[in-house]
């Protein structure tokens, strides 16, 4: 076999042999480069996922810090903390001034769908989900004009948005419970802290 290959090489002129050799080397170089490029892409995607996770953690930590600051520095003036939670007079006044019940109604199908996906099994779960979803409702469901109106109002009255989110959450909870035919008082029956 080796003799046959040597005879073939002797018969080829040197230009054809060099050309074939260059083609083989080029193929090997391209093959290796494609491997390096695919590894680079994998690392780039992995780094992007890590960056996204870090950004998410930073956002969550900022939210936790802001909520903690709010709870320790100011007590919520918009929500009565006794169970079941309800709006204070000030909370109801802000809800009316900002027309929040209408805003919730305007986006109700999206809000209800998001709650349904989480599958609350009792009134207490509905309350927790509604209060937790208030911020995402504000950030993702309300229009930019609605968000700007609420932010401007909060600024004018010297109130943190974190005090307005629970108002939205309670409005969502009440509407969801009403549609499901569940009494608000049933929340306490399922509150794990009451058992």
Distance CA 45, CA 93 (A): 48
Distance CA 149, CA 84 (A): 29
Check: pTM over 0.75? Answer yes or no.
no
Element (H, E) at 80: strand 79-80
Whether residue 177 contacts residue 126, with contact meaning beta carbons closer than 8 Å, is answered with yes
Residue 6 has pLDDT above 50, yes or no: yes
Q: CB within 8 A of 123, min separation 6: which ones? A: 177, 182, 183, 184, 186, 187, 189, 190
Nearest-5° Cα angle at 25, 22 to 30:
120
**Per-residue pLDDT tens digits for 60-87:** 777 776 666 555 445 567 776 666 778 8
**Per-residue pLDDT tens digits for 140-182:** 999 999 999 999 999 998 888 888 888 999 999 999 989 888 8
> What pLDDT was estimated at residue 86?
80
Q: CB within 8 A of 92, min separation 6: which ones? A: none
Residue 193 has pLDDT above 70, yes or no: no
In this prediction, residues 28-53 reach a mean pLDDT of 80
> What pLDDT was estimated at residue 72?
42
Percent with pLDDT over 90 in the chain: 23
User: Helices (H) and strands (E) in the chain — how many of each?
Assistant: 9, 2
Residue 32 has pLDDT above 80, yes or no: yes
Domain ranges, ordered by start, for the chain: 2-71, 81-194
> What pLDDT was estimated at residue 108?
93
Across the chain, mean pLDDT equals 80
């Amino acid at each position: 076999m080796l003799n046959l290959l040597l005879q073939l090489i002797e018969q080829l002129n040197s230009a054809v042999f060099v050309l074939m050799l260059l083609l083989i080397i080029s193929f090997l170089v391209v093959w290796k480069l494609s491997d390096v490029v695919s590894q680079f892409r994998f690392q780039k995607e992995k780094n992007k996922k890590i960056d996204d996770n870090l950004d998410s953690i930073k956002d969550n930590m900022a939210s936790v810090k802001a909520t903690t600051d709010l709870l320790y520095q100011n007590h919520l003036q918009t929500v009565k903390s006794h169970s079941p939670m309800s709006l204070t007079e000030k909370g109801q006044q802000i809800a009316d001034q900002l027309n929040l019940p209408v805003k919730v109604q305007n986006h109700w199908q999206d809000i209800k769908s998001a709650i349904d996906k989480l599958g609350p099994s009792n009134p207490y779960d509905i309350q927790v989900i509604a209060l937790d979803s208030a911020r995402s409702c504000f950030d993702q469901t309300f229009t930019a004009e609605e968000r700007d109106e609420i932010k401007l109002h909060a600024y004018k009255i010297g109130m943190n948005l974190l005090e307005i989110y629970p108002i939205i959450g309670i409005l969502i909870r009440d509407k969801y419970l009403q549609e499901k035919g569940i009494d608000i008082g049933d929340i306490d029956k399922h509150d794990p802290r009451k058992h």
